[in-house]
Structure 1
Amino acid sequence: MAASSPSTGRHRPPPSARGIAFVVAAIQFTNALEYMAVSPLFRRMAPDFGVPDSYAGYVTGAYTLTAILSGLAAYFRLNRNDPRRTLLVTLATLAVTTLAIAETHSFAWLLVLRALAGIAGGITMGCAFGVLLACASAAERPRLLATVVASFSLVSIVGIPMVLQAAERAGWPAAFRLIAACCAGCALVAATRIPAIAPPAVRPRTLDLDAGTVLHAAANAVSQLPSLLIVPVLAPLLALLSADPGSLPRLFFAGGVAGFVASHAAGRLARRLGERRLAWLATAALAIDIVLLMCHAVGAEGFMIAFMASTYVRLVATSSVSVAFPAPEHRAGFSALQTAATHLGTTVAFALSAWLLGGRTVTLAGIAPLLWASRIGTLALPAYLRLLRTARA
């Protein structure tokens, strides 16, 4: 129903699902930037906190741990409230905690602030996806999800260079003030452009945490696991493949653009080919890319473009499959559970990557066990999607 303006009495049309998708994409971009920017900035921060830059892992771990816990807690509670209201609270919390980082020089307080940010960050995208899915039809979802997924690639294209430039020009606190401003801006836009979602008249029963729920919630984590195994060694690997030592920024930019374009294309192709066939094609592309790398048959640019494009297409496909699982009244809580599973999967992938590397130097021979694990994990996705179909039936 169209809303009316109390001052004019004129009716305002409700925001379109596509318009809401762009707002959610902006929130995804900001939420991912707030999480990802800390590691590259910490090298500049460490001297002011009196700790070595190797302590970046503690800062990241504080966020990830609380994000997992808050996502699990939100799974049981989020469906009972208006997800828009919770979204505004989490965005405001991210803005305040990020701004506070710029004003502190205590490492203990930094860990506390990152833990608080993790509590908010673990819920933010669950709320945002809950709103988007409530306003989108089943036919629209693949394209709208692709819009949101594509925003993640913009973090490496625009976001990280932007905050690093701010840190270079005005010091690392300026970078966090900039991120805090982005969080506050998203809260303002969400307050004005996202409609309130009325909670159900009857309190819904919590979605059973059974095998089907867990398998669907973990789908995105399973999709990304093979790629995340390679991410910790991606920079030295690209430097190894490239003859130009100064080409890393260009390669990461090319990969980000490839992911952005592929995500948008995947949203359209999912409606024509179906999500599972699309996942098959992207899986084949990623597996071939890894095989060519192991055979010394691909250059840095070709590997990076194929790697990022196929990774994002797989993510769009699994997202489209998994969001169809929960009933409408359970979508916000399910999305929070899915976010928690993704954070947990990222943690497991990074730990497994370090264990498989075993302290070896990054050479194609040295990372062979890592590449084999990634290749096997890549080929597991089609079987996993068949398992989801069985679980849904």
Structure 2
Amino acid sequence: MWAELKREIKEAAPSLGIDDIGFASADPFLSLKAVLLDRREKGYESGFEEPDIDKRIYPELSFDGQPASLISIAVAYPSKMENPPKSAPGERRGILARSAWGRDYHLVLREAMKKLEDFIRERIPEARIENMVDTGALVDRAVADRAGIGFKGKNCLIISPKWGTWVYLGELITNIPFPPDTPVTEDCGECTKCLDACPTGALVGPGVLNAQRCISFQTQTKGFVEEEFMLKIGNRLYGCDTCQVVCPKNKGKHWNHRPELQPDPETVKPLLLPILDLSNRQFKERFGTSAAAWRGKNPIQRNAIIALGNFKDPGSVPKLIDILIKDSRPVMRGTAAWALSRIGGTEALSAIVKAIATETDEEVLKRLRNAESKLMEAETPEV
């Protein structure tokens, strides 16, 4: 009976908005405990995870009763943009990671899982089902690995033989005892391209991520970013795709069959200067349908300032000075000081000196003085 229902579900999955689906036992992920404890002890966690490690290991802690099965779903998203707009002097652009190109994947996955729940309950009305996306307790990738969606790559992502890493993941816990699928036996072999390419060395070993060093994590923080990471952020406004772009398993893989996940080039590769003038309402109108909006406008605006500094475009100096002098947010003022020091010039130095005379925030003052030192050093002719 359950094998037949599983077959029906797999056949129906595409019509429910699901690109791949796998079934697994709801046994505890006991081998994961040592891994998660080690990450915590070493300070590798992002802080966005479920803090209770037991909840990440034991599916029953997220379920009313004793679960019998886990269902992992995957939805594929695009990796290429048609006719991307180009950056130019005075019109520099940032970039959002591909996972934030289309409609917010949390909504896409929840809708697909709701359709799947309804499909199951039409056949088994008494079925108990709980669903979760990456905000849930379980480790999406551990569930997907066990359910045969793909294998865990050295870049810490699930790599599907069919879809590559370009997939969103979600899972359901149920009391229905579905026959489990077979895990994928493929692996990365000797390849270390993702480890070699990681901008900050956040991939400290095969399948081991120090999230605190990950550019994707850094772009989502709300406070000051250290210079080491600002230099590596480049023009990224949200997320980082480097370890996916270099992955040979992704070669030739691009998915454009879902219109709601296709990127609007002007939204996902936007002009930087206009971002700095967005109100909260305007930000929601512009980016609110994207997963990049979940932390609000401040991190995106801060990252836009970092990007302008990395472009070293003199055309952005007036706006950066305006932020330095007038913005009420210390993070923006301090980041603008750094950006101005990257661009250089007497106008930037004059603004930094003026700002030092009136600034009261200690962290901003520290960054202003660092900027002043760099600019004065650049202005001093070599003997």
Bin for the TM-score computed over the shorter chain: under 0.3
Structure number having the greater helix percentage: 1
Q: Which has the higher strand share?
A: 2
Q: Which has the higher contact order (CA 8 A, sep 6+)?
A: 1
What TM-score comes out, normalization by structure 1 length? Answer: 0.25
